[in-house]
Amino acid sequence: MQRIVIVGGGAGGLALATQLGKRLGRKGLAEITLVDSARTHVWKPLLHQLAAGSYDTHAEEIEYLAQARWNHFKFRLGTLVGIDRAGKTVQLAASHDDAGAEITPAQQVAYDTLVIAIGSQTNDFGTPGAARYTIKLDTPQAAKRFNDRLINACIRAQTVPRTAGSGRLTVTIVGGGATGVELAAELHASARLLANFGFDYIHPEKDLQLVLVEAAPRLLSQLPQRLGEAALRELRKLSVEVHTNEKVVEVTADGLKMASGKMIPSTITVWAAGVKAADFLKTLGGEQPLETNKLNQLLVNGNLQSTFDASIYAFGDCAAYQQPDGTWVPPRAQAAYQQAMYLVRALPRLTAGKAVPAFVYTDQGSLVSLAEYSSVGSLMGSLTKGSFFIEGQLAKLMYWGLHKQHQFALGGLRKTLLITLSELLDHTYRPRIKLH
């Protein structure tokens, strides 16, 4: 029986394991194993809401063990640390609980086909102080840690006399991409809710100062210019202080130093600028490491196979594929999802030695959520040349639809409807913001 091991339970990896389990695992045509260092899955585009406290993961957090049982695949808890390409085994590090007690020992998992989908991590570009004094929102654990610090800072702020001309609590976000923009808007909305739960003096314009710093000339620099302009307009309505063309050269416990010489005081600093793949991918494979680029991404061919080993596949943010037109598939959620669905169809044929057409990425546009205030986006349509701009309620509805599409891919129609009903019921009796 073909042994397919998928390392990484993000949106793409979990969708791939789920669909392959239904198609191959249920029929006994292959043994599908998913490996992840966590026990549960949270949709990464919602991390900014988790950080702001406006999203409770318990409403739809997916447990890998349960998902595996329902969809005919196996789950292994562990962190990838190496690959024996000759012996076709994956080395996993021992896992431990919060007290340091061992949960699982170091182990090896045999494979015939290996798929690496471990995503990316925030790139601080080696900026002095960034690793020590900032929080990087690239995992649910980091988002929860930020939320704890935010609530603690709000409690502390009520006991500290306010300095004339400045807010008592300043949150600075480094990075004006989608994550930074969405987090700024979400924090403003959360501040309004905090006032209803005992934080009487946390006013989003007066007592909470939100600062967004971007090194590029405009916000959302990787997306169409109109989206960046619309996001800037909305953030200014919310009194978010935006600095563009400002490169951070040092982060301290009290603030940030810019290349221009400007200093920005900061109570809590979030680093949301730049992404890269994990450093260990550069040496993955031992004496014969797999080929990587400067961002540590694994180079793959049109079938998403590693350039040095046809039995190893990689996709999503941890992989780099240059398409025939010379463009690289971008590190975006929609690209990872498209690649996962491609592998669902392609892997059974490729493992059987059959030819499969190369993966083709289709840009479906971009959507950026601005909390309850608005959303902006550009959609790619076959009936129009280029993209067309949307904002307001239509964009908010389509952003919500992306989340539902993710739920549908993992749980099907019935479960998605039940989750949606549960979300509606939660809004009637639970606080709209997480306070613990």
- 280 falls in which pLDDT band (50, 70, 90)? very high
Domain count, the chain: 3
Q: How far apart are alpha carbons 204 and 251 in whole angstroms?
A: 24
Answer yes or no: do 307 and 178 share one domain. Answer: no
Answer yes or no: do 86 and 102 share one domain. Answer: yes
- 246 falls in which pLDDT band (50, 70, 90)? very high
* 194 against 124, higher pLDDT: 124
Q: How far apart are alpha carbons 143 and 367 in whole angstroms?
A: 21
Answer yes or no: do 158 and 262 share one domain. Answer: yes
Answer yes or no: do 191 and 202 share one domain. Answer: yes
Answer yes or no: do 27 and 81 share one domain. Answer: yes
Provide the whole-model pTM.
0.85
Q: Which of 252, 274, 296 is the last residue of a domain?
A: 274
Q: Which of 249, 274, 299 is the last residue of a domain?
A: 274
Tell me the mean pLDDT in the region 112-134: 95
Answer yes or no: do 319 and 258 share one domain. Answer: no
Q: Is residue 434 part of a domain?
A: no
Answer yes or no: do 98 and 148 share one domain. Answer: no
The whole-number pLDDT of residue 152 equals 82
The whole-number pLDDT of residue 382 equals 38
Q: How far apart are alpha carbons 339 and 322 in whole angstroms?
A: 14
- Nearest CA-CA partner of 8 in 409, 356, 274, 278: 278
Q: Tell me the pLDDT tens digit for each residue of 147-181.
A: 888 888 777 766 765 554 455 688 999 999 988 99
Answer yes or no: do 160 and 252 share one domain. Answer: yes
CB atoms within 10 A of CB 285: 21
Least confident of 288-292, 319-323, 429-433: 429-433
Answer yes or no: do 323 and 396 share one domain. Answer: no
DSSP assignment of 377-412, as one string? Answer: EEEE-TTSSSEEEEETHHHHHHHHHHHHHHHHHHHH
Q: Tell me the pLDDT tens digit for each residue of 177-211.
A: 988 998 998 888 887 776 665 555 555 556 788 99
Q: Is residue 242 part of a domain?
A: yes
Q: How far apart are alpha carbons 115 and 20 in whole angstroms?
A: 12
Q: Which of 253, 274, 295 is the last residue of a domain?
A: 274
Answer yes or no: do 288 and 249 share one domain. Answer: no
Backbone angles phi, psi at 35, to 5 degrees: -120, 130
Average pLDDT, the chain: 85
Backbone angles phi, psi at 426, to 5 degrees: -60, -35
Answer yes or no: do 70 and 159 share one domain. Answer: no
Answer yes or no: do 162 and 33 share one domain. Answer: no
Whether 377 contacts 223, CB under 8 Å: no
Q: Is residue 376 part of a domain?
A: yes
Q: Tell me the pLDDT tens digit for each residue of 299-355.
A: 999 999 999 999 999 999 999 999 999 999 998 888 999 999 999 999 999 999 999
Q: How far apart are alpha carbons 288 and 204 in whole angstroms?
A: 54
The whole-number pLDDT of residue 383 equals 37
Q: Is residue 402 part of a domain?
A: yes
Tokens of 9: 């339970």
* Residues of the domain holding 408: 365-429
* 49 against 352, higher pLDDT: 352
Whether 7 contacts 116, CB under 8 Å: yes
